[in-house]
Amino acid sequence: MIPANLKTNLKGLSGEIAVPGDKSISHRSVMFGSIAKGKTVVTNFLLGEDCLSTIACFRKLGVSIEQEGNKVTIMGQGMDGLQEPEDILDVGNSGTTIRLMMGILAGRPFHSVLVGDESIAKRPMTRVTAPLSLFGAKINGRRNGEFTPLSVIGGPLAGAAYELPVASAQVKSSLLFAGLQASGETVIIEPMKTRDHTERMIKQFGGEVMSDGHTIRIKGGQTLTGTEIHVPGDISSAAFFLAAGAIVPNSEIKLKNVGLNPTRTGIIEVLQQMGANISIEPYENGSAEPAGDITIRTSALKGTVIEGALIPRLIDEIPIIALLATQAEGETVIKDAEELKVKETNRIDTVVKELSKLGADITATEDGMVIKGRSSLSGGTVSSHGDHRIGMMLAVAAAISKGEVQLHQKEAISVSYPSFFEHFESLISES
């Protein structure tokens, strides 16, 4: 349920919550289950709009997918079991869906068309279509394949070597899907290590992929086998409550079953750098994806510099880190984050614009932002601009704002965290 007005000037947050399943892992579980042979059962699947778009697309490709609450059962017929869709494949707001699916569809012997919403129509696709063309993929779209709608004429692919110009897990994953179908070996070189859910999942489904530093190798012609996947809680969703627990007075929040994949825990490292009162209890369950409980308490934060190899490990968390920085003593500098410009919105400009409306001292730079703390946030009218992570960040900002905060386009939050406001309400202390 979306509240009419955001809660402001809170006196404390306390309690335990389990954030929804990881968005990246949920997407990939459906994709791998659909191209594997046999039954795949996914539990704690994220029921956000983006992941449901992935299910809808694979159903149109002839895959039998049943959903009971957050349990998803996929009856895969292997890569060759995918069928030519009779309709356009609509990815909604999901950049992950469209970019990763291109790698799958490029090698299938049929024609398909991919579209999305207004946000997707503005997001650059050449970063995927150009390297896929090295494999022999035939993908056309507006402005020479830069924008949707995209037409994919699938066919035989040949393995290729490609060095990514920017660190992008989506591009890497799309090329790995192509590499699974290509003749010979595919070699991908990353400038910096990005989230490795795709590599881990290939192994979970019985495939082989080799990683050595920033180089990933995969051989084509592999057969994957259905399996069981339990999706841990999404650390990118947990980040908003980690921030809230650190900056709302008199707070202590325990987040249960949060994914602790080392390629995703940059937010924890930043909180530790800033002096946050945070503790972690990892699970010892031998899962392919590490997880554990995280407890955060109200903290005296200090400014820091966030740059380099840390950026790909927290790219989705930078909006909420910017808010944390407004409540830290001293200056925080975020660098090397040009990738934020091609997310659901230009997140650099949007974060600066919206937090400035609430009284933050924040300035955009070419590749990031500079934030001076501590700022006393006031009320105002702000907007998510249709970006779920901007929306959740502004809801947390409202919690420490002195005046009323009106948030436009709150509904965008349901893309990744449909129960966000319900969980927030459950933590509010009455005293």
Q: Cβ of 260: how many Cβ atoms within 10 Å?
A: 20
SS3 category, 39: strand
Amino acid at 24: S
Q: By C-alpha distance, which of 380, 395, 274 is closest to 327?
A: 274
Contact 420, 392 (CB under 8 A): yes
Q: Which residues contact 301 (CB under 8 A, 6 or more apart)?
A: 246, 247, 274, 275, 276, 324, 327, 328, 329, 373
Given 22, 196, 316, 387, the catalytic residue: 316
Amino acid at 417: Y
Q: By C-alpha distance, which of 224, 220, 227, 223 is closest to 106?
A: 220
Residue 343 annotated as binding?
A: yes
Q: By C-alpha distance, which of 45, 100, 96, 36 is closest to 69?
A: 45
Residue 53 annotated as binding?
A: no
Contact 297, 267 (CB under 8 A): no
Give catalytic status of residue 316 as yes or no.
yes
Residue 196 annotated as binding?
A: no
Contact 233, 256 (CB under 8 A): yes
Residue 195 annotated as binding?
A: no
Residue 50 annotated as binding?
A: no
Residue 347 annotated as binding?
A: yes
CA dist 109 and 212 (Å) reads 32
Q: Which residue has the tokens 């980690």?
A: 242
Residue 24 annotated as binding?
A: yes
53 membership: H or E segment, kind and range: helix 49-60
Residue 316 annotated as binding?
A: yes
CA dist 26 and 37 (Å) reads 18
Residue 410 annotated as binding?
A: no
**DSSP, residue by residue, 371-406:** EEE------EEEE-TT-HHHHHHHHHHHHT-SS-EE
Binding residues for phosphoenolpyruvate: 23, 95, 123, 170, 347, 389
Binding residues: 23-24, 28, 95, 123, 168, 170, 316, 343, 347, 389
Catalytic residues: 316
Binding residues for 3-phosphoshikimate: 23-24, 28, 168, 170, 316, 343
